[in-house]
A and B are shown apart, each in its own frame.
Chain A
Amino acid sequence: MSANLSALFYLISGILFILALRGLSSPETSRQGNYFGIAGMVIAILVTFLSVGNFGPALIYVLIFLVIGGSIGAFIAFRIPMTAMPELVAGFHSLVGLAAVFVAISAFLKPDAFGLGIIGEIKLASLIEMSLGAAIGAITFSGSIIAFLKLRGIMSGSPITFKGQHFINLLLGITIIFLIYYLCTSQLSSVFWSIIIISFLVGVLLIIPIGGADMPVVISMLNSYSGWAAAGIGFTLENTALVITGALVGSSGAILSYIMCKGMNRSFFNVILGGWGASEQSSSSQNKEQKPVKSGNADDAAFLMKNASSVIIVPGYGMAVAQAQHALREMVDALKKNGVKVSYAIHPVAGRMPGHMNVLLAEANVPYDEVFELEEINNDFANCDVAYVIGANDVTNPVAKSDPQSPIYGMPVLDVEKSKSVLFVKRSLSPGYAGIDNDLFYRDNTLMLFADAKKMTEEIVKSL
């Protein structure tokens, strides 16, 4: 296949990828969008086979490896529980990153196969592109591995910080840039390997100081990185499909990071430069005076909700941990039978990744038109009888609106306290991730339900 023709086909697959993302503007068009994405991928792969034009024994190996990888991927995709989506996505990011590194290595070892010159005399632009692709890919890989381990609970979610951390990161970053420059002048393979190894190290150092609840930002950021790595490789290979895709994925991840940061009212650098809870612990321990708390049991909760005319459910990460989404949906069904109007309110940073709660509710067969975002539903709390907070904490804290001293001041929160009564399912009065006390616990209209989210919800279902 001629180079021009294949370039046109790569353009088509790039456009199909754009349509795949475009489809996600509504759940109805999203499934079709996914097919566009698959079509784009099939075209890109077929065109590559035809344009390389090597139909020797190597092709058979390529197909075998394709099938092996594909089967592993399909197996994971069908078996993974929805609550494990954040770590799955982190794991997948690491694969893209590592693949980018491998492709860059192979282009460096055999530049003639890619039309980039010969060993020792690789074109300057190609060298810059491939080393950037390899460096970003390596950072994505090791960073995603750390994110995966933290999300999976293999590694503690608490931030790991040490003195001079940011200085070391800065130093390593400068070293990478210097080494890329040095690589361009010397073409030495040892320099190329050093860039990759240092980048692996940077990825680890970049993610270890970031705490568990900041994971939505981290995952989005790594998503973005994997895109830029792909784009870097795309420039090296002079491949339009890769360049387009890299740009799409890169900007997509960047936008998601921005949305997540805004949901926490923090700047991107604030999140990246380290943990939140760590510095704020002192203030929470000072306020340890006993304030009166009203607590109740499942029967009280069932009674309150049964006699309400409208109930808003506020789910959070705790719901995912307790796997309470199915029990929750049973409870809502029972309430609806009693003529109660029920809707769901989702905070942008609820859960461990963007849209995490929505997927879990969809899994439990909650229709998506009953689920609302913060801006859509926040005014409704004032007219609602009962707010049922399950597994959320900081995102409901009224302190964010009233106390400029609070570390979460200015963060958009759900106006849960405005509803006539609040049912707060929580195991204890311990503070949330931000390390601050939730003022909501001590309000007159709040009834605490001290229990595991799933157990409590199941008990409520029984007494309804």
Chain B
Amino acid sequence: MEIDPFIFRLSIFILSIFVGYYVVWSVTPSLHTPLMSVTNAISSVIIVGAIIAALASSSDSIFETSNLFGFLAIILAAVNIFGGFLVTQRMLQMYKKKKK
């Protein structure tokens, strides 16, 4: 019997939770704020779905309702991607060691 592709994705999902668990425990507490802002940025990879939605034009019109939701989602995700990575970068620049 063939395995449903869903099961593969579920396996990836569950393994990723474990990876996330161990990786996040190793994050130093002083970087927990940058951790939040960077997870914010990477979760905006949801833009992938937004792009597919925006570019899906089965008919002549590129502004059907479903496309519009895609375009809106692109703006939201883009704010988050640029904002998230840049603010993380800005914060990380500030962490300095003692000058010897």
Contact = CB atoms under 8 A, between A and B. Distances in A.
A353 B31 CA distance: 11
A430 to B, nearest CB: 28
Contacts of B43: 96, 226-227, 230, 245-246, 249
A125 B92 CA distance: 41
A68 B35 CA distance: 25
A18 B23 contact: yes
A109 B69 contact: yes
Given A22-B26, A76-B79, A223-B36, A110 B56 contact: yes
A282 B33 CA distance: 35
Contacts of A106: 49-50, 53, 65-67, 69-70, 73
A25 B48 contact: no
B80 A27 contact: no
Interface in A350-376: 353-356, 358-359, 362-363, 365, 367-371, 373
Contacts of A54: 55-57
B70 A95 contact: no
Given A27-B92, A252-B20, A256-B35, A48 B51 contact: yes
Nearest to A110: B66
B36 A220 contact: yes
Given A72-B79, A95-B79, A238-B5, A58 B42 contact: no
B52 A113 contact: yes
Interface size class of B (residues with CB under 8 A): 35 or more
Contacts of A96: 40, 43-44, 46, 76-77, 80
A31 B93 CA distance: 7
Contact of B45 (A44, A74, A102): A44
Interface stretch (A80-88, A202-210, A408-416, A447-455): A80-88
Contacts of A59: 55
Given A77-B86, A96-B46, A355 B78 contact: no
Nearest to A123: B6
Contact of A92 (B29, B35, B37, B73): B37
Given A34-B89, A106-B70, A230-B45, A21 B20 contact: yes
Contacts of A177: none
A271 to B, nearest CB: 17
Nearest to B74: A65
Contacts of B37: 85, 88-89, 92
B36 A219 contact: yes
A62 to B, nearest CB: 5
A460 interface: no
Nearest to B15: A247
Contacts of B72: 102
Contacts of B69: 102-103, 105-106, 109
Interface string A213-250: 00000011001001101110111111111111111111
Interface in B81-97: 81-97
B78 A65 contact: yes
A354 B98 CA distance: 23
A165 interface: no
A121 to B, nearest CB: 16
Contact of B80 (A99, A125, A248, A251): A99
A49 interface: yes
A107 interface: yes
Interface of B: 5-6, 9, 12-14, 16-17, 19-21, 23-58, 62, 64-67, 69-99
7 residue pairs, one from A and one from B, having the closest CB atoms? A69-B78, A113-B56, A355-B32, A73-B83, A73-B82, A247-B16, A354-B32
17 contacts: A27-B31, A34-B88, A44-B47, A58-B67, A68-B78, A77-B86, A95-B80, A96-B80, A106-B67, A230-B43, A230-B45, A231-B13, A242-B45, A247-B20, A256-B36, A346-B30, A355-B33
